Structure formats: structure tokens, C-alpha cells
Chains A and B, each alone.
Chain A
Amino acid sequence: MVQLTINNIKVNAEEGMTILEAAKSVGIHIPTLCHLKGLAPTGACRICVVEVQGQRNLTPSCAFPVFDGMVVETNSPRVRKARKTIVELLIENHPQDCLICVRNKNCELQNLSEKYSVREHRYVGASRNHALDISSASLERDPAKCILCGRCVRVCHEVQKVGAIDFTNRGFSSIVTTPYNKGINVSDCILCGQCILVCPTAALREKGSLKEVVNALNDKNKFTIVQVAPAVRATLGEEYNIPLGTDVTGQMVTGLKRLGFKKVFDTNFAADLTIMEEATELIHRVQNGGKLPMFTSCCPGWIKYAEQNRPEILEHLSTCKSPHEMEGAVLKTYYAKKMGINPKDVFVVSIMPCTVKKYESNRNELSEENMADVDAVLTTRELVRFFKIAGIEFGDLPEGYFDNPLGESTGAAAIFGTSGGVMEAALRTAYFKLSGKELENLELEAIRGEDGVKEATIPIGDLNVNVAVVNGIGNVKRILDEVQNGTSKYHFIEVMTCPGGCINGGGQPIHQQTEKIQKRMKALYQIDNKMKLRRSHENESVKILYKEFLVEPNSHKAHEILHTEYFDRKKVISKDL
């Protein structure tokens, strides 16, 4: 224990705590910009400076550990002045664009400017001029808005361990960018959008698709259908000051109906369908000496990572399309036919927690007879913008219900949005299929939670099924090395790119609240808990779909419509130097 005084308040802090943490423990707020919880401090931005008695210079509180008898002032006139100057300098080098910026009212730079009452432009200098990078289908980079805090770089290198972008050049021409300043679409980036979630400004943002959706809705010849991913219902409320971890399914559905979609379906339906296909595929591989371990394939960020970095293991990937692509494929075949609509007039919109899915929906192989399975993807954040434009006050909405048949789902589908959920759902069904008995204890605690790699062994009959869950793409390397050198003991491995799973996807609401992952996870497990049906093979609408159309899991028809293929995308640069 260390005793110190912060703003005349006696504070008992733990050894090794930073001043920032100690201050927070007693409710004293210190602004930060470059700081990222859980990662080593860089001390780059200095907005967090405080006065420490006996030290001549101001001290960055995020990087400085407390000591016994320390006396700290976090809000003296000198501190305030220093912080204000930093903010003023940042603003002068920033486009004065707030009124027309996507991050208007949710921008840390704007907040700081407001907080320190910046009311004039005191420093006028050259502002940096950088080209917009709109090369990717998922995200945009606007380096002119970058304040060089480095948070995206650290998330990309240290958390995701992709390392697509970094600081380049120096001094005034410093810029966070890709190698050779090329478009992000030709870099190592997997478009996960984790960098967007930490960017304090709009320098990183999703590529918006609202216009396409509005046009489709206005087109009288189009039958526009929307589907919503499992993870969106657990986070959407945050944008409306509803407490973290509140399930807002009912209001969300009503809101979507009011936007004018002809049908509001649930990607959870297709999550159940995915489980039927994926569990069957796994069993087939186990029983017929197929490639093992098998990896899940519902996360397109993970698929992109594997294609770009480990083409050697592509045969280990399940061939199942991701759930929203399956839903789209069923809508454009079975459903269109059943309803007597020309599939060319069906326009499928997916509301997703994910930025990669925008790129995914453009993949050529994810289509039926030259019609994309999914026509447009909106993130959770874009849905909020859509509600706003349409004058929909979310808080006042009554509860609504998904349309059928592609709106029915089980508890197994609900947990798809959290790390470990796909595995848990698959095991519930694989257990039944292999043993003919239902799994008694449905909650597999060992693969829940926030650990980087989670493992379990499930005895099914005389087979011990070893499974692993990779929570965040930054944890995948060891698992892949084992698979490649033949020492992997697993049968089945789930990989989710985003730490925590889709509930923390790159398209989710942006804020830096610490408990978001935990609370959002809990919301999904609660949905599962409350459901009468909690196993994918119990979904009646899915059963009917097989009976009327797909015959049985992994049938020829199912392969044609619900499965896909992967390609080696390891960068090939001409070597003829």
C-alpha cells in the first residue's frame, strides 16, 4: 500500500499504480488521449499532465507510478493551462469540420475543446494535408483528422497483432499509414475496425452504406428485407443512454419496421442454420478422417486473416458461409420463390456489429447466380444514424417481433455474438447428433469469459472432443503454429477476430467504458437463458427449411447455397529485382 494525497484527498493506492489509476479510484477524472487501458503507457500526448510536489516539470499521470507521501494536484491553474495549450495546438492542426463530421458529438478532441473552454484560434499555422483513403469496402482513413495519439497503431500491433498501420515519416509530416502509404485494401489490414473503436476522432471510420439502403427502400420495385446480427441487440441501447448490457430486441425490431423494410428477419435464424451445417461438417470430418482440427468460419475478419497470412491452413476452415450470408442466400432462393418474388428484386440489408462484413458481402463467391447474397451492410452505428434521420425516437418505441419464418431462433443462436458462443452452440447440437442424447449441462463455463484462449474437453460417447476458443485474432498465432506443425490436439477451434467477439465488433457504439465487453456478453447469455428452445436443432423453421428445400444438412443443395470457398491471398510482390 502506498499513501498519497491527490487534490488534498488522502488516497490509499496499490504499489505500482499510476497516478491516473490512483486518481480514478477516488473519483478524480484526468483526461487522457494516448492512454489505452491494459497497454503500457507511451506518454505521447501529455494531456494527462499533473503537478507533483517537488518536481519542476509537469508529470504525465498515465505513465508515472505513485510513491509514498506523494502530493499531487490534478487541476491546478498551471495544469489547466498546459492542457488547454495542448488542445489548442491539436485543434489548429485539425480540419475545422465538426458540423459535418461523423463523430460530431462523440469526439474526444471536441470534448476536450469544450472542457477547456477553447474559444479562439490562438495559433495559426500550416495544417497538414493528407489524402482520404477510401480504398476499402469497410473502412475509411482520413489522416487529416488524425491527432497522432497512436491508439489505433497499438491496438492493431499489440492487441490484434496484425500491424497494418504505423507511424511513418517524422515531425510535421508524421502520419499514421500503411506501408508506402498505399490504400488500406492492399495492406495487411483485415478490416476488423478495432482501430475505429479506439480512435478519438473521425480519422478512422466505417465506409458508410446508408445511401444505398435508402435508395433501395425508395425503389418501388425492390422488396427490401433487413436482418439483424445477434450482437446488435446487446449494444444498440448504449447509443440512447440505456444502461450497458440491456437487450433492446423489441424496440429495435419496431424501429426497423418503421424505417420501411418489408420484412424484419433475424440473423439468429441463420445462426441456427449455420450450426446445423457446421456441426454436421465437423462430425463428418471426425468420422471420415477429414482435415482436423476444423476452424469456425463465421467471422470474416478471421477468414481474411487466414487467407492473407496462413493460406496453408485453409482446408481446416469450415466451408460454411457466415450466418448473415446464409440468411441472404436463403432469402434469394427459397424465400423469394416461396413468396413469388423475382430474386433480382430482393434487396437484403444486414445490420451488423462488424466492419469486415461490408467487405465480405462484396466477395464474389458469396452470391447466387450473380446476385450477391447480401446487398448492403450497415453497422450498429449507421443504424443509429438512420433512426435519427427518420425521426425515430428509440426510447419511445413499443416492442415488436421479428417476421417469420426467418425470424425464429433458439438460445444457441443468441450467443453467437460473444466469444465462445459459436462453439457452445455447435457442441449442443454435435452432442445430440453424435450420441442421440441431449447435452444436459448447456452452459459451458470453461469457454465463456474474456481469456485469450479458452479450452474444454467434452466427452461424447467414447470420443473426447477437444475444443479451443480463440478470443481475439491476436491470440491465434500459437494455435495456428500447432496446426501447421501437426501438434494440435484439438478437434474444433472457434476464432473470433474481435476481443470478446462480435459484441465488441468494429461497427459497435464507440465509447471507452471499461465494462462493456463483460456486460454485453452477459446480455446475450441472458437471452439464451430465457429461451424455451436453446439448441439449434430444435428450431422449427430451420427444420421446415430442410424439409421443403435443403433436404438435410450438408446435402448437395445445402452445399450449393450455404457453403463457400477460400483463396490464398498472401501478398505476392514481384521478386524480379
Chain B
Amino acid sequence: MHTHIFENYEPNDKSSLIPLLQEVQSVYGYLPESALQEVADFVGMPLSRVYGVATFYNQFRLAPLGENIIRVCRGTACHVKNSANILLALENALNIKAGGTTRDRKFTIEVVNCIGACSIAPVMTVNDEYYGRITVKDIPNIVKKYSKAPKPKEVSITPEVGLV
């Protein structure tokens, strides 16, 4: 599915690393391990270094996104309105950390800086919907609403073994 991306690059050229990672991500939405290994072999770098680069930049995702993406604003206005607690409540409700995806791949939590809705701070969005002036108490209901949605279609992914 992604093999075509190598066509435009010379092998063993370390400077193509970042563009190649971007292309892989544009195919899958994240960087699957087997693709990362192929990129490593292609540019002639150890997988560990490629993984190190991929985790250094915020633009790269190492795990597939969940079906629903929750973005919690941690901008200044929201911070003043206690967005830290919103985030914490959400993390607890879904049992994952910001940046993570639930095991059933239903939810991903992301943290963002000011989404331009300061007047209704604290704000979070789920997919394209905005939720303003929320309190910790609202979290369970919002989560529930999206949990009910139908199962996403099967995605084949590399099994994640080992330590996290």
C-alpha cells in the first residue's frame, strides 16, 4: 500500500527520512512498525534512530487514531477555567493518557492550544462537535454518547507486544 512512496527517493540518503515518514503517515494516518522498518532499511539507519526521530516531532503518530478524536483545549483561557481537571477526568474516564488511544480504538485524546472558542472556555471537541463551558461532571455523558456509536470497520494492524 505504501511501496510507491519510495519511488521518488534515493536509497541510503538520510535527508529523506522526514519526508518519507510524512508520506507513510499520509497513507495510514500513523506510522505502522513494518513501514517504519522499511523506511529505516531504505535510508540505511537503525530502526531505533528512525523511531527516535518519529517520536521527537509532534507531527508523527506511532499508533492509529481512534474512531472518535477528543481534543481538550489547554490554552490560557481554558486553563484559567480549570481545563486541567477536565483533561484529568477524561483521562480517568477512558483510562488512557493524553495522546493515547483506547484499546478498543474508540477514542483518542489529544491536547490542543486555543481553538478560538475562548468565550465558552473550557472547551473540548469530539470529532467536529464543540462542547463549551463544560465541567468535570459532563464528561461521563459525553463519553457515553460516543461509546454507543457503531463499531468501526476492522483495521489490520501489527500486534503491539512488549512494554509500554
- Where the two chains meet, the residues of A that have a C-beta atom closer than 8 Å to any C-beta of B are 131, 133, 135, 157, 162-170, 178-183, 186-188, 571, 573-577
Contact = CB atoms under 8 A, between A and B. Distances in A.
A157 B49 contact: yes
A444 to B, nearest CB: 35
Contact of B46 (A133, A135, A169, A188): A188
Contacts of A164: 46, 48
A73 B160 CA distance: 52
Chain A contact residues: helix, strand, loop or mixed? loop
Contacts of A575: 34
Contacts of B56: 167-170
A577 B37 contact: no
Nearest to A130: B163
Contact of B34 (A170, A178, A574): A574
8 contacts: A157-B49, A164-B46, A165-B48, A166-B46, A169-B55, A169-B56, A170-B56, A573-B158
A464 to B, nearest CB: 36
Contact of B47 (A135, A169, A188): A188
Interface residues of B, number: 28
Nearest to A169: B55
A178 B36 CA distance: 13
Interface in B28-63: 28, 32-37, 45-52, 55-56, 62
Nearest to B40: A179
Contacts of A170: 55-56
A485 B56 CA distance: 37
A180 B62 contact: yes
A575 B38 CA distance: 10
B52 A166 contact: yes
Nearest to A187: B48
A382 to B, nearest CB: 25
B149 interface: no
| Most-contacted residue by chain A among B46, B48, B51, B52 (CB, 10 A) | B48
A331 B150 CA distance: 64
Contact of A577 (B49, B51, B156): B156
Contacts of B45: 163
B162 interface: yes
Q: A-B pairs with the 9 shortest C-beta distances? A: A163-B46, A182-B162, A179-B51, A166-B52, A166-B48, A573-B34, A168-B55, A183-B162, A179-B47
Contacts of B48: 163-166, 178-179, 187-188
| Most-contacted residue by chain A among B51, B156, B163 (CB, 10 A) | B163
A153 to B, nearest CB: 8
Given A135-B163, A169-B56, A577-B35, A180 B1 contact: no
Nearest to A175: B55
Nearest to A182: B162
B34 A183 contact: no
